[in-house]
Structure 1
Amino acid sequence: MKNKRVLYVSSEVVPYLPETEISSMSFEAPKMVNSKGGQIRIFMPRFGNINERRHQLHEVIRLSGMNLVINDMDMPLIIKVASIPKERIQVYFIDNEEYFKRKATFTDEDGNLFPDNDERAIFFAKGVIETVKKLNWAPDIIHVHGWMASLLPLYLRKYYKDEPLFTDSKIVTSVYKQEFDGALDDKMLDKIKFDNIGEGNVEILADPTYSNLLKVAVDHSDAVVIASQEIPADIQEYLTGYDKPVLEYKNREEFADAYTDFYNTKVLNLG
């Protein structure tokens, strides 16, 4: 992995949010690549329940100030950055007052999904890509964790398909256990089609369930990591016909060597 550039895009990362399977692996995998001489960058949303003072987040003026169009609305993009103590790893935070100021991640105090989670996911995907473009940092591998990051493969392959910075980037999506029940806004597909994305099996997002979001991510990725011992049965079945590399589940003690081998022998060697 020496000198390889790996971009991690995750919905949650420790120590900024509580420890979960996703937040832990979104820290452990970059730490592992970093220790092997790779170059890494991590992106996550700047949720309002992240303590900016404690974690010393600060705005990067040269990267902020752009507007992203979401469903025909101009939404200002703010970029913040922090460093994980002792690890020399920088984390970039995608922020917008409308989408991320509230003091919660995905659900309200009653456990209901926020009605604009679909727009937040679109904004996050576009925000990451536009920021990486500004950094002029061409990743060899882009590794996606968590459903709020799941639109990134679709947008890279369709909306940004002519962007030369990502021509040689390989996309890996990690599939975790069911992260939410129900579905996102039923107008989500219309909002994606507003960006002139109407092909590539996006029609299943007429019903934007967790499984359908991940199936779209899988379809537009170059490889898949099964990141939980149990993933939804329909995704497991979907992967039986998948003709791209799949890494079976590895626990925290096994993952480092397995990920390194998978990146080196399967992902980076893809044509």
Structure 2
Amino acid sequence: MKDKRILYVSSEVTPYLPETELSSTAFNVAKNAHSKGIQTRIFMPRFGVINERRHQLHEVIRLSGMNLIINDMDMPLIIKVASIPKERMQVYFIDNDEYFKRKAVYSDEDDKLFDDNDERMIFFAKGVVETVKKLNWAPDIIHVHGWMASLLPLYLREFYKEEPLFAESKIVTSLYNSDIEDLNKELANKVRFDKIEDSKVATIETPSHINILKSAIENSDAIIKGSEVLPEEIETFIEESNVKVLDFQSEETLTESYLEFYKENVLELSE
């Protein structure tokens, strides 16, 4: 595994956001891989609640400056970077004033989901891919965590299917429990705008949390159960899907179990 490259893409990562099952798992798994000599990159959204001064974020001018087309709108892509103290791990932040400047993560002060979370998901997925292309860094594994990142497998499989940098990349998605409500009903149409076929968009026609996870499962090579309890509908969908699966791991075992899973069940798919 030492010569391998793993791209971690997560909705949340500690210490930049509060500690949750998602944010701590994404961090700990990446940290462990990094400590074993595996080349790692971590990407997350630059939510407005992240204190840039405290965490020493700075813009990477050579990576910023391009515009991403989201539902026929030009949206500037800003890339910021920080290093996790003591770990010598770099974290890349996908930023845009329209989508991420607000001082909140997913919802407003009334706990109502932002109406543009669908566009934020698309922007994040495209922003990650375009930045990795600029870095010219071909990952062996792309490990996705959290619903805000869960359109990435679909975009890699369809929108970027001709991109040679990712031709050999294997996609792993960790699934977590969440109580989010349905997203903007136009999500499927906004994805279709990117010339992604109807058959590939059908799963997210009703943009519920469960359907977004189903889409990620459909477009991944392997699945990890990041929460001990997942919706029954998701459990059934996993059983019916032809993907490798790692069951939920306790905090004590997850880092080594994930590396073993990569080695024995994910990378072997290339052979």
TM bucket by the smaller chain? over 0.9
Q: Report what 1:18 is aligned to.
A: 18
* Cα distance change, pair 87–112 in 1 and its aligned pair in 2 (3 A): same
Root-mean-square deviation over aligned CA pairs: 0.8
Q: Report what 2:203 is aligned to.
A: 204
CA distance in 2, matches of 1:104, 1:176: 20
Where do residues 124-163 of structure 1 align in structure 2 (5 Å cutoff)?
124-163=124-163
Kindly provide the amino acid, as one letter, of the partner of residue 13 in structure 1. V
CA distance in 2, matches of 1:45, 1:178: 18
Deviates more, 1:9-18 or 1:202-211: 202-211
CA distance in 1, matches of 2:3, 2:11: 25
| Structure 2 SS opposite 1:37 | coil
Kindly provide the amino acid, as one letter, of the partner of residue 114 in structure 1. F
Identity %: 63
CA distance in 2, matches of 1:49, 1:142: 26
Q: Report what 1:267 is aligned to.
A: 266
Q: Report what 1:184 is aligned to.
A: 183
Kindly provide the amino acid, as one letter, of the partner of residue 159 in structure 1. F
Q: Report what 1:249 is aligned to.
A: 248
Deviates more, 1:234-243 or 1:39-48: 234-243
- Aligned partners of 1:65 and 1:76 also within 8 Å: yes
| Structure 1 SS opposite 2:103 | coil
Q: Report what 2:233 is aligned to.
A: 234
State the aligned residue count: 270
CA distance in 2, matches of 1:228, 1:254: 14
Unaligned runs of 5+ in 1: none
Q: Report what 1:86 is aligned to.
A: 86
* Cα displacement string for residues 139-195 of structure 1 (whole angstroms, at most 9, x for unaligned residues): 000000000000000000000000000000000000011241x20000111100000
Q: Report what 1:46 is aligned to.
A: 46
- Aligned partners of 2:33 and 2:40 also within 8 Å: yes
CA distance in 2, matches of 1:90, 1:122: 23
* Cα displacement string for residues 33-74 of structure 1 (whole angstroms, at most 9, x for unaligned residues): 011110000000000000000000000000000000000000
Kindly provide the amino acid, as one letter, of the partner of residue 185 in structure 2. D
Kindly provide the amino acid, as one letter, of the partner of residue 231 in structure 1. L
| Structure 1 SS opposite 2:120 | helix
* Cα displacement string for residues 220-257 of structure 1 (whole angstroms, at most 9, x for unaligned residues): 00000001110111101111112221000001101122
CA distance in 2, matches of 1:233, 1:202: 22
**What's the CA shift for 1:109?**
0.5
Q: Report what 2:33 is aligned to.
A: 33
**What's the CA shift for 1:199?**
4.1
Q: Report what 2:193 is aligned to.
A: 194
Kindly provide the amino acid, as one letter, of the partner of residue 252 in structure 2. E
CA distance in 1, matches of 2:3, 2:227: 29
Q: Report what 2:113 is aligned to.
A: 113
Kindly provide the amino acid, as one letter, of the partner of residue 209 in structure 1. S
Aligned structure 1 segments of 4 or more residues deviating by more than 4 angstroms: none
Q: Report what 1:167 is aligned to.
A: 167
CA distance in 2, matches of 1:197, 1:216: 13
Q: Report what 1:68 is aligned to.
A: 68
CA distance in 2, matches of 1:185, 1:132: 28
Kindly provide the amino acid, as one letter, of the partner of residue 258 in structure 2. Y
| Structure 2 SS opposite 1:269 | helix
